């Protein structure tokens, strides 16, 4: 099928490249001309594993093209995926400006009926708004632009893999014809016949279920999924606090909890809190839209508040140990909001660094991918070439993103470089016993701290 993708951000670019990979002809548009020129010169504007190879391969085969003229993509695509941003407004609502702009261009430029698929995360009833919009503004009354909600569940850092191995494909639509065309688009995934470029294998086991719903329900599934996952994280973080106070080990508690199949083991990793451009903004947007419909989602307000408190709690814990922060050198490992991405939006690491700087600490940091982006957000941070340089001379080393690289460093060398070998593990990515055996002091989250005590 010929497909247009509007928006070449994390969602749009991954969707465009993966749709091309499963055989569709895709034109991906973005109004940011510099992004498009980067894509047309064979690069990609952010780091995402496997994406660059997919983009390059499908550009070469001619299945994937990029343009900064949205109308060009629209005239080429019988199905149009809207993948533009829905950033948060001051009041927590999602900003629909880019969605509306995409809809207007579709009305102006489509020369026949189109299938319009909203993939951006949007509040419930956006599809309904779009349908009404198309009826009012379509260029000919005979055109029928069918609206579908097809939320994405791609995680940054494993987005390509998630596209090829989804837990489910959710399609919200109001017509049999729209459902049929969505089945056609995802046929290679639904039949398990496509080759996953990450594992270079076909789908093993049962192919993903297609969840067919009305549009409102599909939109709600997306917000509810992200909110539920965020709730799990805040829940385990509260358990971590309780473990610290009651002298228990949160990792053991999480294991015992997660083995209950009704609960499940994922998203029970405690730490400095969730970040990124999805959970924080989607929670806010969900609370706001629920309030509009008369539902006070105070449960999710608390999830948000618990998450905000993580940063302060972490800083205070380090402060308790180091006593005075002014003039102290602090090493930081990890800046991105999670590993395998260079995305620093709402990254807890950045908030933590700013708080330490307010207290007068000197920060030296290393991240495998996110330093360029962090450089334009942070001031007076010394960015280092490698994890060792970030540890050198430091009175504490803060591990803030669980990159694999940090688990593979030579810890004895790190220890020998530090002024005080104190490792503060904001993600519980290290085994405390290993760390202690190498002569470190160790503070984790929800675990008993192993630090130097008074001898007398
Ligand atoms: C999230 C969802 O997982 C995707 O399904 C969804 O498509 C995406 O948002 C979106 O709406 O676009 P993402 O934000 O890329 O994906 O990353 P996650 O892996 O979900 O992690 C989010 C945050 O939670 C990270 O800061 C991570 O460190 C934190 N986290 C995650 C924890 O603190 N503990 C956990 O156990 C899991």
- What is the atom index within ligand 1 of the atom nearest the CA of 158? 15
Asked if residue 397 lies in contact with residue 390, where contact means CB atoms within 8 angstroms, the answer is yes
196 given a catalytic annotation: no
Residue nearest to atom 25 of ligand 1 (CA): 274
Instruction: Identify the DSSP state of 210.
Output: E
pLDDT in tens, 372-406: 999 999 999 999 999 999 999 999 999 999 999 99
pLDDT by 10-residue block (mean), the chain, 456 residues: 97 98 97 97 96 97 97 94 94 92 94 94 95 92 93 96 96 97 96 85 78 98 98 98 97 98 98 96 95 97 97 96 96 97 97 98 98 97 98 98 97 97 98 94 93 77
Establish whether residue 156 lines the binding site of ligand 1, counting it when its CB lies within 6 angstroms of any ligand atom: yes
Asked if residue 340 lies in contact with residue 158, where contact means CB atoms within 8 angstroms, the answer is yes
Residue nearest to atom 29 of ligand 1 (CA): 274
pLDDT in tens, 417-450: 999 999 999 999 999 999 999 999 999 999 988 8
Establish whether residue 347 lines the binding site of ligand 1, counting it when its CB lies within 6 angstroms of any ligand atom: no
pLDDT of residue 51: 97
- What is the atom index within ligand 1 of the atom nearest the CA of 276? 14
C-alpha 403 – ligand 1 centre gap (Å): 15
φ and ψ of 426, to 5 deg: -75, -5
- What is the atom index within ligand 1 of the atom nearest the CA of 11? 12
CA 362/CA 330 separation, integer angstroms: 6
pLDDT of residue 192: 87
138 contacts: CB under 8 Å, gap ≥ 6: 107, 110, 145
Asked if residue 320 lies in contact with residue 451, where contact means CB atoms within 8 angstroms, the answer is no
Residue nearest to atom 5 of ligand 1 (CA): 153
């Amino acid at each position: 099928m010929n497909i247009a993708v509007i928006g070449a951000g994390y969602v749009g670019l991954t969707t465009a490249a993966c749709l091309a990979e499963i055989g569709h002809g895709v034109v991906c548009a973005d109004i940011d001309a510099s992004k498009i020129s980067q894509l047309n010169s064979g690069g990609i504007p952010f780091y995402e594993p496997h994406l660059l190879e997919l983009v390059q391969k499908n550009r070469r085969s001619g299945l994937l093209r990029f343009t900064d003229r949205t109308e060009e993509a629209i005239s080429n695509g019988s199905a149009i995926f809207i993948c533009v941003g829905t950033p948060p407004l001051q009041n927590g609502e999602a900003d629909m400006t880019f969605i509306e702009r995409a809809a207007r261009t579709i009305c102006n430029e489509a020369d026949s009926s189109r299938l319009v698929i909203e993939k951006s995360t949007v509040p419930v009833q956006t599809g309904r708004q779009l349908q009404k919009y198309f009826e009012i503004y379509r260029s000919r009354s005979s055109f029928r632009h069918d609206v579908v909600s097809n939320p994405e569940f791609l995680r940054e850092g494993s987005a390509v893999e998630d596209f090829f191995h989804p837990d489910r494909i959710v399609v919200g639509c109001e017509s049999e014809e729209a459902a049929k065309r969505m089945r056609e688009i995802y046929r290679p995934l639904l039949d398990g016949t496509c080759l996953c470029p990450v594992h270079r294998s076909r789908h093993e086991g049962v192919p993903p279920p297609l969840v067919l719903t009305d549009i409102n329900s599909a939109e709600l599934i997306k917000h509810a999924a992200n909110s539920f996952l965020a709730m799990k994280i805040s829940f385990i973080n509260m358990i971590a606090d309780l473990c610290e106070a009651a002298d228990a080990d949160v990792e053991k508690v999480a294991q015992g909890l997660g083995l209950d199949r009704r609960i499940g083991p994922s998203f029970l990793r405690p730490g400095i809190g969730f970040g990124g451009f999805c959970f924080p903004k989607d929670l806010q947007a969900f609370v706001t839209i629920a309030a509009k419909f008369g539902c006070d989602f105070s449960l999710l307000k608390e999830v948000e508040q618990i998450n905000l408190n993580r940063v302060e709690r972490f800083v205070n814990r380090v402060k308790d140990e180091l006593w005075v922060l002014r003039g102290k050198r602090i090493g930081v490992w990890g800046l991105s909001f999670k590993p395998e991405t260079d995305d620093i939006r709402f990254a807890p690491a950045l908030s933590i660094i700013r708080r330490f700087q307010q207290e007068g600490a000197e920060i030296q940091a290393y991240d495998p991918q996110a330093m360029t982006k962090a450089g334009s957000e942070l001031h007076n941070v010394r960015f280092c070439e490698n994890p060792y340089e970030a540890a050198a001379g430091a009175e504490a080393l803060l591990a803030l993103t669980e990159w694999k690289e940090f688990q593979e460093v030579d810890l004895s060398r790190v220890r020998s470089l530090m002024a005080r070998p104190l490792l503060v593990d904001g993600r519980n990515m290290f085994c405390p016993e290993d760390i202690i055996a190498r002569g470190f002091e160790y503070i984790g989250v929800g675990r008993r701290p192993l630090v130097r005590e008074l001898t007398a």
